[in-house]
A and B are shown apart, each in its own frame.
Chain A
Amino acid sequence: MSGTATTTGARTEPVRAEGTFGDGALVVCDSLVRIYQSDGIEVQALQGLDLLVEEGELVAVVGASGSGKSTLLGILSGLDVPTAGRVRVGPWDLAAMTRAQRVTYRRQSVGFVWQQTARNLVPYLTAEQNVDFPQSVAGVPRRERAARTHELLGALGVADCAHRRPGQLSGGQQQRVAIAVALANSPALLLADEPTGELDTTTSAEVLEALRSVNTELGTTVLVVTHDPSVSEHVRRTVAIRDGRTSSEVLRSTRTHDDGTEHTVAEEFAVLDRAGRVQLPREYREALDLVGRVRLALEEHQVTVRSGRES
Chain B
Amino acid sequence: MTARALRATVQALPVAAHRARRHAGFVAAYGALTAVVALGALAAPLALTRAADDGLRAAVAAAGRDADVVVRYVGREGTDLRHPESFVESLTAAADGGLPPALRAVTGDPVSVLRTAGLNTLTPAGPYSLRLVHAPDAAVTWVAGGAPGTPDDGAAPDDGGSRAVEVGLSAATAEAMGVGPGDMLTLSSEVLTARVAGVFEPVAADDLAWTDAGDLLAPGPLREGASLRPASALLPAESLGTALEVLASGSATIQVRFPLDEAALRADDATTLRSDLVRAATTPDALASTTAGTPMVETVLDGVLDAYAARLAVARGQAATVLTGLAAAGGLVLFLAASLLVARRRQVLELERARGASVASVALRAAAESVPLTVLAAVAAVAATLPSGGPPSGPEALPAVAVLAVAAGAPVVLAARVAASSWAGRRVAANRRDRERDARARRTWRTSAEATVVGLAAAAVAAALFRGVVPDGDPLVAAAPILLAGACTVVVLRVLPLLLGVAERAASRGRGLVPLVAASRAAGGRTGVRGVSGASAAAPVLALTITAALTVSCAAAAATVQQAQKGAAAVVVGAAARVDGPDEDLAALALTPRPDVTTAAGTVLPRRTFARGSGLKTTVLVVDAAAFPQLTALADAGLPALGGPVPALLDPRLERTARLLEPDVWALDSTVPLVVAGVLDLAATGPHLDVTGPPTVPVVVVDRAALAASLGLAPGDLPVDVVWLDGPGAQAAVEELRDAGASSGTVTTREERATGLRTDPLAVGLVTLYLLAAGMLAALAVAAVALTVLATAPERTRVLAVLRTLGTPRAAGRALTAAELAPVLAAAVAAGLASGVLVAVLLTSAQDLGSLAGGGDPALLVPWWPFALVVGVTAAALAAAVAAEARSRRHVRIGDVLRTW
Convert A9-30 into 0s and 1s, putting 1 for each residue whose CB lies closer than 8 angstroms to a CB of B.
0000000000000000000000
* Chain B residues numbered 1-19 whose CB sits less than 8 Å from any CB in chain A: 4-5, 7-9, 11-12, 14-15, 18-19
CA distance A72 to B424 in the complex (A): 16
Query: Could you say which residues of chain B place their CB within 8 Å of the CB of A33?
Result: 430
Of B51-59, B195-203, B346-354, B827-835, the segment with at least 4 beta carbons within 8 Å of chain A is B346-354
A109: nearest chain-B partner, CB-CB:
B356
Q: Which of B11, B21, B352 has the most CB of A within 10 A?
A: B11
A181 touches B355 (CB 8 A): yes
Q: Are A137 and B430 in contact (CB under 8 A)?
A: no
Asked if residues A37 and B428 are in contact (CB atoms below 8 Å), the reply is: yes
* Contact B354–A83 (Cβ < 8 Å): no
Contact segment of A51-59, A117-125, A218-226, A252-260: A117-125
Interface contact B355-A79, CB-CB below 8 Å:
no
Q: Say yes or no: A106 contacts B354, CB within 8 Å.
A: yes
A233 at the binding interface (Cβ < 8 Å): no
Q: Which of B430, B432, B900 has most chain A Cβ within 10 Å?
A: B430
* CA of A109 to CA of B222, assembled, Å: 109
Cβ-based interface call for B435 (8 A): yes
- Contact across chains for B355 and A137 when beta carbons are under 8 A apart: yes
Residues of B within 8 A of A133 (CB): 12, 15, 352, 355
Assess the A124–B356 pair: CB atoms within 8 A.
no
Say how far A6's CB is from chain B's closest CB, in angstroms: 22
Query: Who on chain B is nearest to A79 by CB?
Result: B423
Q: Does B509 contact A (CB under 8 A)?
A: no
A78 within 8 A of B: yes
Judged by a CB distance under 8 angstroms, whether A116 is at the interface is yes
Which chain A residues lie closer than 8 Å to B358 at the CB level? Answer: 100, 103, 137
User: Do residues A83 and B15 form an inter-chain contact, with CB atoms below 8 A?
Assistant: no
- Greatest chain B CB density within 10 A among A97, A138, A185 is at A138
Q: Which residues of chain B in 830-855 are interfacial with respect to chain A, using CB atoms and an 8 Å cutoff?
A: none
Instruction: Kindly supply a per-residue 1/0 record for chain B positions 578-600, scoring 1 wherever the CB is within 8 Å of any chain A CB and 0 otherwise.
Output: 00000000000000000000000
A289 surroundings in chain B (CB, below 8 A): none
In the assembled complex, A107 has its CB within 8 A of some CB on chain B: yes
Q: How far is the CA of A100 from the CA of B8 in the complex (A)?
A: 15
Residues of A within 8 A of B428 (CB): 35-37, 83
The A-B contact count (CB < 8 A) is 95
B359 / chain A contacts, CB cutoff of 8 Å: 99
| Most-contacted residue by chain B among A36, A107, A142, A185 (CB, 10 A) | A107
**Distance in angstroms between the alpha carbons of A119 and B347 in the assembled complex:** 7
**If A103-B358, A119-B347, A136-B12 touch, does A38 touch B528 (CB 8 Å cutoff)?**
yes
From known contacts A106-B355, A106-B356, A125-B18, infer whether A81 and B425 are also in contact, taking CB-CB under 8 Å: yes
Interface of A is mostly: mixed
| B10 to A, closest residue via Cβ | A136
Q: Taking A38-B528, A81-B426, A142-B11 as contacts, is the C-beta distance between A137 and B347 under 8 angstroms?
A: no
B427 beta carbon closer than 8 Å to chain A: yes
A78-B425, A97-B425, A119-B347 are contacts. A136–B354 as well, Cβ < 8 Å? no
Asked if residues A39 and B354 are in contact (CB atoms below 8 Å), the reply is no
A273–B5 CA distance with the chains assembled, in angstroms? 43
- Distance between Cα atoms of A138 and B4 in the complex (Å): 8
In the complex, per-residue mask of B40-74: 1 if CB is within 8 Å of any chain A CB, else 0: 00000000000000000000000000000000000
Given A79-B425, A124-B21, are A185 and B356 neighbors across the interface (CB < 8 Å)?
yes
**Distance in Å: Cβ of B421 to nearest Cβ of chain A:** 11
A119 contacts which of B4, B9, B351, B357 (Cβ < 8 Å)? B351
A83 to B428, CA, bound (A): 7
0/1 interface trace, chain A 124-146, chain B, CB 8 Å (1 if under): 11000100011011110010000
A35 and B430 within 8 A (CB): yes
Q: How far is the CB of A88 from chain B (nearest CB, A)?
A: 15
Q: What CA separation (Å) do A60 and B64 show in the bound complex?
A: 96
Instruction: Report the separation of the CA atoms of residues A137 and B8 in the bound assembly, to the nearest whole angstrom.
Output: 5
A137 touches B432 (CB 8 A): no
Asked if B354 and A112 make an inter-chain contact with CB atoms under 8 angstroms apart, the answer reads: yes
Q: Are B15 and A122 in contact (CB under 8 A)?
A: yes
> Across the interface, do B432 and A136 meet the contact criterion of CB distance under 8 Å?
no
- Flag whether B361 is at the interface (Cβ < 8 A): yes
Would you give the shortest CB distance from B188 to chain A, in whole angstroms? 100
Q: Are B11 and A139 in contact (CB under 8 A)?
A: yes
Asked if A37 meets B435 with Cβ closer than 8 Å, knowing A79-B423, A124-B21, A137-B355, the reply is: yes
- How many angstroms between the C-alpha atoms of A159 and B348 in the bound complex? 24
Q: Any chain A CB within 8 A of the CB of B659?
A: no
B893 within 8 A of A: no
Complex: A303 Cα to B259 Cα, angstroms = 117
A139 touching B425, Cβ below 8 Å: no
Whole-angstrom CA separation of A102 from B359 in the bound complex: 12
Q: In the docked arrangement, what's the CA distance between A77 and B18, Å?
A: 27
Q: Is the CB of B15 within 8 A of A116?
A: no
Say yes or no for B22: interface residue by CB 8 A criterion: yes
Q: Is A80 an interface residue (CB 8 A)?
A: yes
Q: Type the 1/0 row for A189-212, where 1 means its CB is closer than 8 Å to any CB of B.
A: 000000000000000000000000
A42 contacts the other chain (CB 8 A):
yes
Give every chain B residue within 8 A of A138 (Cβ-Cβ).
Answer: 8, 356
**Are B426 and A125 in contact, with the CB atoms below 8 A?**
no
**B19: which A residues are within 8 A, CB to CB?**
124
- Is A84 interfacial (CB-CB < 8 Å)? yes
CB nearest neighbor in A for B427: A81
Are A124 and B22 touching (Cβ within 8 A)? yes
Complex Cα gap A81–B425 (Å): 5
Picked from A80, A107, A124, the residue with its CB within 8 Å of the CB of B423 is A80
Determine the distance from Cα of A77 to Cα of B900 in the docked complex, in whole angstroms. Answer: 23
A93-104 contact mask (Cβ, 8 Å, vs B): 1 or 0: 000010110111
- Give chain B nearest CB distance to A141 CB in angstroms: 8
Given A37-B428, A124-B18, are A118 and B361 neighbors across the interface (CB < 8 Å)? no
| CA gap between A125 and B351 in the complex, in Å | 13
B22 — which chain A residues lie within 8 A by C-beta? Answer: 123-124
> What is the CA–CA distance of A116 and B7 in the complex, to the nearest angstrom?
31
Residues of B within 8 Å of A42, CB to CB, are: 432
What chain A residues lie within 8 Å of B425 (beta carbons)? 78-81, 97, 99, 102
Measured between beta carbons, the chain B residues less than 8 angstroms from A83 are 427-428, 430
Q: Given A124-B18, A124-B19, does the pair A79, B11 have CB atoms closer than 8 Å?
A: no
Residues of A near B15 (CB, < 8 A) are 122, 125, 129, 133, 136
A185 to B352, CA, bound (A): 14
Q: Give A108 to B355 CA distance when docked, in angstroms.
A: 10
Q: Which of A33, A99, A108, A116 has the most CB of B within 10 A?
A: A99
Collect the chain B residues with CB atoms within 8 Å of residue A118's CB.
900
Q: Mark B863-889, 1 if CB is under 8 A from A, else 0.
A: 000000000000000000000000000
* CB of A304, distance to nearest CB on chain B (Å): 36
Chain B residues, CB < 8 A from A78: 423, 425
A79-B423, A124-B19 are known contacts. Are A134 and B528 too (CB-CB below 8 A)?
no
Q: Which residues of B contact A84 (CB under 8 A)?
A: 430
A137 B4 Cβ-Cβ under 8 A = no
Residue of A nearest to B348 (CB): A122
Asked if B351 and A122 sit within 8 Å, CB to CB, the answer is yes
For this complex, 19 residue pairs linking A to B, each with C-beta atoms less than 8 Å apart, are A80-B425, A81-B427, A83-B428, A106-B355, A106-B423, A116-B900, A120-B351, A121-B351, A122-B351, A133-B352, A136-B12, A137-B8, A137-B9, A137-B11, A137-B12, A137-B357, A137-B358, A139-B11, A181-B355
Q: Which 9 A-B pairs have the closest CB atoms?
A: A107-B356, A139-B8, A124-B22, A79-B423, A136-B11, A81-B425, A106-B356, A136-B12, A139-B4
Q: Name 11 extra pairs, CB < 8 A, besides A38-B528, A122-B348.
A: A97-B425, A106-B356, A107-B356, A119-B347, A123-B348, A124-B19, A124-B21, A133-B12, A133-B355, A138-B356, A142-B11
Q: Which residues of B contact A (CB under 8 A)?
A: 4-5, 7-9, 11-12, 14-15, 18-19, 21-22, 347-348, 351-352, 354-359, 361, 423-428, 430, 432, 435, 528, 900
Residues of A near any B CB (own CB < 8 A): 33, 35-39, 42, 77-81, 83-84, 97, 99-100, 102-104, 106-108, 112, 116, 118-125, 129, 133-134, 136-139, 142, 181, 185
